[in-house]
Amino acid sequence: MMKRIGILTSGGDAPGMNAAIRAVARKALHEGLEVYGINYGFAGLVAGDIFKMDLHTVGDKIQRGGTMLYSARYPEFAKEEGQLRGIEQLNKFGIEALVVIGGDGSYHGALRLTEHGYNAIGLPGTIDNDIPYTDFTIGFDTSVNTVVEAIDRLRDTAASHERTFVVEVMGRGAGDIALWAGVAGGAQDIIIPEHEFNVKAIADRLRRSRELGQKHAIIVLAEGVMHADEFAKELSAYGDFQLRATVLGHVVRGGSPTARDRVMASQMGAYAVELLLQGKGGLAVGIQNNKLVSHPMLDLFDAKHQAELSLYDLAQDLSF
């Protein structure tokens, strides 16, 4: 019977990670397991930065953004030498299984440990929403709400000065944050990596909108396409739209998680413990059609997350 599990977060932080850590720890303690937190991801695992957790360790953490276990990039874990050093620490602390919260890179590390005989379950903790086989990732909803709030504020000054704001948002190579926030924020145009765009056509729509009385506009740009200043420069070649470029940057990763992220992270965290208790590893937890699911991590590496492009079409239909 398994007696001890570990928890680590890896890669970029995401709101809701603490809710997931809390759920894993409390579900495991409820099942009679000992729980160990691992600071600084795989780097902390190799360094032995590991401590025993109890109910109070994760108390008053569900509402906090970021990750109480900290995070760090550690590409050395891709090599077997790094993995074996991590396993030495797992053996030292008697940890028999892991829950790894992070994105694609984190899943690679979790799979390697499973292959070495230490079952690991991955939870999708990333604001980018770019993990296959899950409709949503932990932190995505909070990030979208943060962007929408920023768009609402920018619209006030855009309207006051009759300007066009190009708002660049995070998402790495995925356009989900831009897509969802653009629709929710009533953007004039949304530029994402998953859909082609034509700068001249965008300029024509802006001119047409102005002729119809809409003197200001918001354009949401995914960082995976180009920088906001670069896009504004290309657009300005087709007319004077009083352009201003705004890069929201890492503010999108911070803040208290929404209720949706807290609930989903809690569900996923408890489910991960259930899978480990069943002796399973090498699986990634997700949510599809509002139901918890798990898929082999190997499947995720061969698949690609698909953006909900019907939202793009909707945004085009609803813009001037």
Q: Is 210 annotated as a binding residue?
A: no
Pair of tokens at residue 194: 């998953």
Q: 283 is written with which tokens?
A: 């699986």
- The answer to whether 223 is annotated as binding is yes
Q: Is 128 annotated as a binding residue?
A: yes
Q: Is 64 annotated as a binding residue?
A: no
The Cα–Cα gap between 146 and 141 comes to: 9
23 is in an annotated binding site: yes
70 assigned binding-site residue? no
Q: Which residue has the tokens 């109070």?
A: 56
Instruction: State yes or no: 25 annotated in a binding site.
Output: yes
Structure tokens at 214: 């809409």
DSSP E strands, 164-242: 164-169, 189-191, 217-222
253 annotated ligand binder: yes
Distance CA 242, CA 207 (A): 12
85 is in an annotated binding site: no
155 annotated ligand-binding residue = yes
Residue length of the chain:
320
∠ CA 204-207-211, rounded to 5°:
135
3-state secondary structure of 220: strand
103 assigned ligand-binding residue: yes
CA distance 267 to 300: 21
CA distances 215 to 88, 162, 163, 240, Å, are 64, 5, 7, 12
> Please, what's the b/e burial string for 183-220 (b: 16 or more CB within 10 A of its CB; e: otherwise)?
bbbebbbbbbbbbeeeeeebbebbeebbeeeeebbbbb
26 is in an annotated binding site: yes
Other beta carbons less than 10 A from residue 32's beta carbon = 10
Q: Any known ligand binding at 247?
A: no
Query: CA–CA separation, 95 vs 317, rounded Å?
Result: 54
Residue 153 among known ligand-binding residues:
no
Residue 22 marked as a ligand binder? yes
State yes or no: 74 annotated in a binding site. Answer: yes
Judge whether 106 is annotated as a binding position: yes
215 touches 163 (CB < 8 A): no
In whole angstroms, give the CA distance from residue 150 to residue 81: 45
Question: Which residues on adjacent β-strands are paired with residue 98?
Answer: 6, 120
Annotated active-site residue 128? The verdict is yes
Residue from 49, 128, 130, 176 carrying the catalytic annotation: 128
Residues annotated within a binding site: 12, 22-26, 73-74, 103-106, 126-128, 155, 163, 170-172, 223, 244, 250-253
* Residues known to be catalytic: 128
* Sequence ranges of the binding site for ATP: 12, 73-74, 103-106
Query: Which residue ranges make up the annotated binding site for substrate?
Result: 126-128, 163, 170-172, 223, 244, 250-253
Known binding-site residues for ADP equal 22-26, 155
Q: Which residues are annotated as a binding site for Mg(2+)?
A: 104
